[in-house]
Amino acid sequence: MAKKREKKTTPARPQLGDNVEILSAGEIIESPITETLETNYMPYAMSVIVSRALPEIDGFKPAHRKLLYTMYGMGLLKGARTKSANIVGSTMHLNPHGDAAIYDTMVRMGRSNESLLVPFVDSKGNFGKAYSRDMAYAAARYTEAKLEPICEELFRDIDKDTVDFVPNYDGTTTEPTLLPVTFPTILANNTLGIAVGMASNICSFNLVELCNATIALMKDPDADLVQILPAPDFVGGGSILYDAAEMRNVLENGRGSIRVRARWAYDKANNCIDITRIPPTTTVEAIMDKITELVKAGKIREISDMRDETDLNGLKLTIDLKRGQDPDKLMARLYKSTPLEDSFACNFNVLIAGQPKVLGVRSILQEWTAFRAECVRRRTYHDLQGKRSRLHLLQGLESILLDIDKAIRIVRETAEEAEVVPNLMIGFGIDEVQAEYVAEIKLRHLNREYILKRTQEITDLEQAIADLEDILKRPARINKIIMAELSEVAKKYGQPRKTEILYDLPDDSATEEEDAVPDYNVHLFFTKDGYFKKITPQSLRMSGEQKLKDGDEIIFTAEATNSVELLFFTNHCQVYKTRAADFADSKASVLGDYVASALGMEEGEVPVFMTITTDYKGHMLFFFQNGKAAKVPLESYKTKQNRRKLLKAYSDKAELAAVFHLTEETELAIFTSNSRLLLVGTALIPEKATRDTAGVNVITLKKNARIARVTRAAKLELADPHRYRVRTLPAAGALLRDTDKTEQLSL
């Protein structure tokens, strides 16, 4: 008796609000951070590095390569232009990342955008400008494009198995992994790529110089590239300030900084400066914004107007000058303060066989030569196989030349079509491929003249095959082919340099002058705790008491102008030099600027004395607790390079007791810790030329005594001042009388 089959029931799906128990819900599982990074982040990082951001040895990122190959497949190398929207749509068969990204890529490769030294897209319409931040390109439906003629060098022999092909993202077609470029495109155009944990920034070199340098390296791997490839060549022109050490570092190591400045001309008739070339790292708007900022801050006062006059003739930034201004001095200051002079930071990070490597120009050209040699080798092998196949067919045709009537008879007498090829094989001793070729010959071609003409190719084919086999056996011949192609590219597509090289660097120090600052009256205040205030007279009249920290007091105050120089002497025996204009106007109701932070002083370093000057006249007088004093000309702190920080501002052999800035000789009162007083005329203290001199003895101290303080004698009211005066130094001074002590306590 058969068992009754049990009816299976499917459990009901949990509904919202049901109490459902989920296994491991709420359980926290610990895992090492390294494991999480490897499983979650590393695949993304590697995808960005290998498949998106870094260029390969053919000079292209995947997005560029997919776009160019699509345009090549659309017949845009020889045909007429088509709408950019058509190109973008077709490219999405290979690049599914969105039409906006594809069009943006095509815009930057266009000739009219002026991003590339060797453009690959022949553009028509508004493609924007690389040197303008605000000049946007038109939509893809309005612009048209095709490939530039030089793109023929990118795709030459691509159908001869020169490079590998892989399926596209959906497997419906194939695309090349690299392009078989006949010149080093990797260095012919600038490339910027930001990956994960690494980046690439490659500058462009002149095409003719680049091809010549590659040829020179193929002849001699140790060739001096500096003589052949002196400096990069940027599409925007400009002037390179040549630095031999930096340039050699770029050529050999792939890293370095290249200073580029704008090119300009002075229009005397209109009293204006016309800037026509700018560095590749900036835009016209960025330059104008910075100049406007300097003018508003009062640091540039020679400019009356500025405007962007860029038109169809190219970039032009015009700066109108006020009457009587020197354009050379103004440009020297603008180079220093604006992006009109900028640095191109080279980082030649390239994918070699899927591995990112930072290589110098020499190594990149050697890697490209090896890649191109493999392309030529594969092309030669492809041609060799084709000629061998052709020769094989013609040899079969030659065998029936001896008896054409026999071949006709075999075909006529064969009952079944399928037996024609086997019978020809047997009748003439040829293989199936040859017999198939013979069987397909048209009836009109079965004459002796046609067959003789075909068989005459055999000799030419045999010679060509021998030549191709010789090429494959001899790397030197492959190198000659590459060098011939490079010479042809340089001759056909080469252009003169756009960027000039300045070997004799301009002496900016000769034309450099201090930034002009607005000059007005100010009151300066400096406190014991190191706070500084600059207050205008108007603000001071409207203010109340000075705000200070608890226990703080003002130790320096002066009426001056905004252009005076400030000197802050610190407890580390250093002096920091700045200007009143470098501090913002303040108010009495705020604490002011903390000088140690504002000037970037060292840890634990604080200012102990402040003075001002406009001409560095007078002396600095330092008193030390060991009884010595150092009198140093203020001129010693003036430097031609306008350094902001000077070491060894005064001696560190003993503790500092007091500091004075003397504009004229005066009398000072020295108080000691054992209640003695000495009145000293500063004229008696000899001048020392060295800033950190230990000084001379001015007061004779008893054991364990020291200088307690020093003040100006004019502030004191002494019953008998002659008691404390001396004519020669050093001197011991005199004990303070009780009446003078009381006076000092009340003071």
- The mean pLDDT of 475-479, rounded to a whole number, is 95
Q: What is the pLDDT of residues 384-413, one digit of tens each?
A: 999 999 999 888 888 877 777 888 888 888
- Within a 13 Å sphere around the CA of 383, how many CA atoms are in the beta-carbon half? 20
- Answer yes or no: is pLDDT of 4 > 80: no
Q: How many residues does the chain have?
A: 747
Which residues does residue 257 pair with via DSSP β-bridges, in sequence order? Answer: 345
- Answer yes or no: is pLDDT of 513 > 70: no
Lowest mean pLDDT among 23-27, 311-315, 526-530, 668-672: 23-27
Q: What is the pLDDT of residues 121-157, one digit of tens each?
A: 999 999 999 999 888 999 999 999 999 999 999 999 9
- The mean pLDDT of 428-444, rounded to a whole number, is 84
Q: What is the pLDDT of residues 250-301, one digit of tens each?
A: 999 999 999 999 999 999 999 999 999 999 999 999 999 999 998 887 788 8
- Answer yes or no: is pLDDT of 201 > 90: yes
- Answer yes or no: is pLDDT of 5 > 60: no
Give all domains of the chain, ordered by start, each with its CATH number: 60-180 (3.90.199.10), 188-250+366-516 (1.10.268.10), 263-339 (3.30.1360.40), 517-614 (no CATH), 617-633+653-747 (2.120.10.90)
For 373-415, give the secondary structure using H, E and C. HHHHHHHHHHHHHHHHHHHHHHHHHHHCHHHHHHHHHHHHHCC
Report yes or no: 227 and 251 within 8 Å, Cβ to Cβ: no
The whole-angstrom separation of Cα 351 and Cα 349 is 7
- Answer yes or no: is pLDDT of 8 > 70: no
Percent of the chain residues topping a pLDDT of 90: 61
- The mean pLDDT of 548-566, rounded to a whole number, is 90
Lowest mean pLDDT among 90-99, 511-520, 586-595: 511-520
The whole-angstrom separation of Cα 134 and Cα 620 is 55
Pairing verdict, β 628-633 and 565-570? unpaired
Residue with tokens 């497949």: 73
3-state secondary structure of 558: strand
- The mean pLDDT of 44-52, rounded to a whole number, is 84
- What are the C-alpha distances in Å from 688 to residues 620, 635, 659? 10, 12, 15
- What are the C-alpha distances in Å from 30 to residues 24, 26, 43, 535, 612? 13, 13, 21, 60, 64
Q: Catalytic residue among 41, 142, 520, 616, which?
A: 142
The whole-angstrom separation of Cα 328 and Cα 508 is 10
Q: What is the pLDDT of residues 11-38, one digit of tens each?
A: 555 554 556 566 666 677 788 888 887 8
- Residue 142 appears among annotated catalytic residues: yes
- What are the C-alpha distances in Å from 553 to residues 102, 543, 585, 606, 657? 66, 18, 20, 15, 18
Question: Residue 747: what pLDDT?
Answer: 44
Which residues does residue 522 pair with via DSSP β-bridges, in sequence order? Answer: 560
Q: What is the pLDDT of residues 211-245, one digit of tens each?
A: 999 999 999 999 999 999 999 999 999 999 999 99
Neighbour tally for 545: CB within 10 Å: 7
Question: Residue 631: what pLDDT?
Answer: 94
pTM, full prediction: 0.67
Report yes or no: 110 and 121 within 8 Å, Cβ to Cβ: yes
Report yes or no: 468 and 387 within 8 Å, Cβ to Cβ: yes
Q: What is the pLDDT of residues 321-372, one digit of tens each?
A: 988 888 999 999 999 999 999 999 999 999 998 899 999 999 999 999 999 9
Residue with tokens 């979650």: 40
- The mean pLDDT of 159-178, rounded to a whole number, is 94
- The mean pLDDT of 488-495, rounded to a whole number, is 95
3-state secondary structure of 661: strand
Q: What is the pLDDT of residues 82-113, one digit of tens each?
A: 999 999 999 999 988 889 999 999 999 999 99
Contacts of 703 (CB under 8 A, 6+ apart): none
Sheet with 317-321, side-by-side order of all strands: 263-267, 272-277, 317-321, 303-308
- The mean pLDDT of 585-595, rounded to a whole number, is 90
Question: Residue 438: what pLDDT?
Answer: 83
Under the banding of pLDDT at 50, 70 and 90, the label for residue 48 is confident
Report yes or no: 527 and 553 within 8 Å, Cβ to Cβ: yes
Report yes or no: 451 and 401 within 8 Å, Cβ to Cβ: yes
Under the banding of pLDDT at 50, 70 and 90, the label for residue 426 is confident
Q: Long-range contacts for 581-584 (Cβ within 8 Å, ≥24 apart)?
A: 581/517, 581/518, 583/532, 583/534, 584/534
- Within a 13 Å sphere around the CA of 122, how many CA atoms are in the beta-carbon half? 16
Q: Which of 167, 178, 118 is nearest to 371 (CA)?
A: 178
Q: Which of 79, 102, 78, 77 is nearest to 89 (CA)?
A: 102
The whole-angstrom separation of Cα 464 and Cα 186 is 33
The whole-angstrom separation of Cα 115 and Cα 129 is 8
Residue with tokens 């040197």: 131
Report yes or no: 137 and 100 within 8 Å, Cβ to Cβ: no
Highest mean pLDDT among 115-119, 301-305, 455-459: 115-119
Q: What is the pLDDT of residues 412-423, one digit of tens each?
A: 888 888 888 898
Give DSSP secondary structure letters for 489-511: HHHHH----SSEEESS---HHHH
Q: Give the H/E segment covering residue 600.
A: none
